[in-house]
């Protein structure tokens, strides 16, 4: 059993759930939470039975960013403390971004700083109507981390990324959705049910298909057209030859719903 304190981690029926669990501290990221996220992410990546990972938070906040009070408590060692926190956070984000399972992020409140960064990494991001997003880094004399300088300009474009990072302007859920940061905005009291429904739909799909969608999209920023098409050709051949591929094609021919197991 996992000895986690600052997250709750569960797995059942092909779906893993990671819950940020420091509600009394606005789910601020401290070194323990970052370390636990790294561990949970690795377990998700290593679990071949998983098709979906849900990242969400308990309480009124999604994540208010790094725990500034903890940073200050390190005195002259603050630099090494932040290096440790950021290292574990970045390892978690890299693993969650490259694992085979699809990642669903549920934003239930304020997503600031590293919380904003975590909201960016989902394949599908559902946000409660009352949620909000702000970079917040430069307000504290800091610069972005958590992969936000990679993901944000790819999602909203360079000009908007510059504005959000330099001005710390707060976005409501509707504007975040309009910008492309969020997949869908839902009523606050419907967020949990819609996340569960979406996860169940994804878990009923073919694991390899979702894994290769993630792999192709992650590679597309760096590849030229011919390299990307070569990768597409390689991966679709692997899909066709897989049990899920054969089942999907057979079900299509027989005009029935596939059973991907």
Identify the band that residue 261 occupies on the pLDDT scale cut at 50, 70 and 90: confident
Task: Report CA 81 to chain centroid distance, whole Å.
Answer: 24
pLDDT given for residue 82 in this prediction: 83
DSSP 88-146: HHHHHHHHHHHSSSEEEEEE-SEEETHHHHHHHT-SEEEEETT-EEE--TGGGT----T
Map out the domains of the chain as residue ranges: 7-203, 207-253
Model confidence pLDDT, tens digit, residues 117-166: 999 999 999 999 999 999 999 998 899 999 999 999 999 999 999 999 99
Three-class secondary structure assignment of 201-237: HHHCCCHHHHHHHHHHHHHCCCCCHHHHHHHHHHHHH
Q: How far apart are CA 261 and CA 248, in angstroms?
A: 11
pLDDT given for residue 193 in this prediction: 98
Given a contact cutoff of 8 angstroms between Cβ atoms, the answer to whether 113 and 135 are in contact is yes
pLDDT given for residue 80 in this prediction: 81
Other CB atoms within 10 A of residue 249 CB: 13
pTM tops 0.85, yes or no? yes
Model confidence pLDDT, tens digit, residues 186-218: 999 999 999 999 999 999 999 999 999 999 999
Any residues with CB less than 8 A from the CB of 96 and at least 6 apart, and which? 41, 44, 45, 53, 55, 103, 121
Query: What does the mean pLDDT of the chain come to?
Result: 94
The CATH number of domain 7-203, selected from 3.30.413.10, 3.30.70.920, 3.90.226.10, 3.90.950.20 = 3.90.226.10
Among 210, 37, 192, smallest CA distance to 107 is for: 192
pLDDT given for residue 2 in this prediction: 66
Q: Is the pLDDT of residue 61 over 90?
A: yes
Q: Is the pLDDT of residue 1 over 60?
A: no
Q: Is the pLDDT of residue 168 over 80?
A: yes
Q: Which of 10-19, 116-125, 190-199, 252-261 is the least confident region? A: 252-261
Q: What are phi and psi for residue 38, nearest 5 degrees?
A: -60, -45
Q: How far apart are CA 158 and CA 22, in angstroms?
A: 33
Vertex 6, ends 73 and 207: CA angle to 5°?
135
């Amino acid at each position: 059993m996992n000895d986690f304190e600052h997250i709750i981690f569960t797995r059942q029926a092909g779906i893993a759930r990671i819950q940020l669990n420091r509600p009394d501290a606005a789910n601020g990221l401290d070194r323990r939470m970052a370390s636990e996220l790294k561990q949970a992410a690795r377990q998700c990546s290593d679990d071949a039975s998983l098709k979906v990972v849900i990242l969400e938070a308990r309480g009124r906040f999604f994540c208010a960013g790094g725990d500034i009070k903890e940073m200050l408590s390190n005195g002259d060692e603050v630099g090494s403390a932040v290096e440790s926190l950021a290292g574990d956070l970045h390892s978690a984000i890299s693993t969650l971004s490259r694992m085979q399972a699809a990642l669903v992020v549920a934003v239930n409140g304020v997503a600031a700083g590293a919380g904003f960064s975590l909201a960016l990494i989902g394949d599908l991001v559902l946000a409660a109507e009352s949620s909000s997003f702000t970079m917040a880094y430069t307000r504290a004399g800091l610069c972005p981390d958590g992969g936000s300088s990679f993901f944000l300009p790819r999602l909203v474009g360079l000009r908007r990324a510059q504005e959000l990072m330099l001005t710390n302007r707060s976005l409501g859920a509707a504007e975040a959705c309009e910008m492309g940061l969020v997949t869908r905005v839902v009523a606050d009291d419907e967020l949990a049910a819609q996340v569960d429904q979406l996860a169940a739909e994804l878990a009923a799909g073919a694991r390899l298909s979702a894994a290769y969608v993630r792999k192709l999209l992650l590679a597309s920023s760096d590849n030229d057209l011919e390299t990307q098409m070569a990768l597409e050709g390689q991966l679709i051949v692997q899909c066709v030859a897989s049990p899920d591929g054969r089942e999907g094609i057979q079900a299509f021919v027989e005009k029935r719903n596939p059973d991907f197991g």
